[in-house]
Amino acid sequence: KAGVTQTPRYLIKTRGQQVTLSCSPISGHRSVSWYQQTPGQGLQFLFEYFSETQRNKGNFPGRFSGRQFSNSRSEMNVSTLELGDSALYLCASSLVPGQMNTGELFFGEGSRLTVL
Amino acid sequence: AQSVAQPEDQVNVAEGNPLTVKCTYSVSGNPYLFWYVQYPNRGLQFLLKYITGDNLVKGSYGFEAEFNKSQTSFHLKKPSALVSDSALYFCAVRDRASGGSYIPTFGRGTSLIVHP
């Protein structure tokens, strides 16, 4: 069974640009969540999607958005990039959404974004 | 609110010695507790979880963790460390109480360095 696939793995952008990251969950998994990982802030929750609906959202500005498609694939978008958005963005999938999930999350390898 | 603390940024241990990575948590109800490991330039991998039952939980790669409700701790342990165990370790907690957050909160991570 293929794991969680994130693309692109690495990208470099400049301030003010926007970026779209993609995540394909494990086959059969319908919940996708996104996290931002930085050395200073650790792992911070961005949002969770289930059945194309955003179920939970972390404390990030509106520049951060996401969506989920009918095949459970998810994208996140960051507009008007700032230097502080440089981070590893991790996607995780699970069979069911957080409220019913007592099990583990399955993470992708991440997309490393560098903003210059 | 739920939170988790990993009091040590880094743990150093000699190969063959026992290791402990500390984690304490705070939730309003009863917790679900998790440990994940992250190798360089990789996503997080699930190690083990505590849901209910036996306070000693065994997981992947010879790791185990002990749930201590009175001390609100969930320390990760291994009897004999390997150089290949060197990685970043994350503790995570999720509150079981209704109305609590269904999204796990992650600690800031502890870097484990095992010296040959």
Instruction: Assign B82 a pLDDT band (cuts: 50, 70, 90).
Output: very high
Smallest Cα distance from A64 to chain B, Å:
18
pLDDT reported for residue A63: 97
pLDDT reported for residue A40: 77
Q: What is the DSSP letter of B108?
A: -
For residues B101-108, give the mean pLDDT: 82
Dump pLDDT digits (tens) for B40-81.
888 999 999 998 888 999 999 999 999 999 999 999 999 999
Position with higher pLDDT, A1 vs B84: B84
Dump pLDDT digits (tens) for A34-82.
999 998 788 899 999 988 999 888 999 999 999 999 999 999 999 999 9
Nearest-CB residue to A102 (from B32, B44, B105): B32
Nearest-CB residue to A104 (from B34, B42, B106): B34
Question: Which among B30, B37, B103 is the top mutation candidate for probing chain A, defined by the most A β-carbons within 10 Å of its own β-carbon?
Answer: B103
Dump pLDDT digits (tens) for A72-100.
999 999 999 999 999 999 999 988 766 55
Please state, as a whole number, how many other Cβ atoms lie within 10 Å of the Cβ of residue A83. 10
Smallest Cα distance from B88 to chain A, Å:
11
State chain B's mean pLDDT as an integer: 91
State what percent of residues in chain B have pLDDT above 70.
Answer: 95
Residue A1 touches chain B, beta carbons under 8 Å: no
pLDDT reported for residue B25: 96
Element (H, E) at A87: strand A87-94
Q: How far is Cα A114 from Cα A54, in angstroms, rounded to an integer?
A: 26
CB contact under 8 A, B44 and A107: yes
Instruction: Assign A2 a pLDDT band (cuts: 50, 70, 90).
Output: confident
CB contact under 8 A, A107 and B45: yes
Contacts A6 to B, Cβ<8 Å: 43
Q: In chain B, which residue's Cα lies nearest the Cα of A31?
A: B103
Token pair 């494990």: residue: A26
Q: Distance between terminal CA atoms of chain B?
A: 41
Tokens (6 digits) for A48: 């969770």
pLDDT reported for residue A101: 61
Q: In this structure, are residues A111 and A12 in contact, taking their beta carbons and an 8 Å threshold? A: no
CB contact under 8 A, A110 and B43: yes
Contacts B94 to A, Cβ<8 Å: 98
Tokens (6 digits) for B59: 């997981």
Instruction: Assign B101 a pLDDT band (cuts: 50, 70, 90).
Output: low
Q: In chain A, which residue's Cα lies nearest the Cα of B37?
A: A107
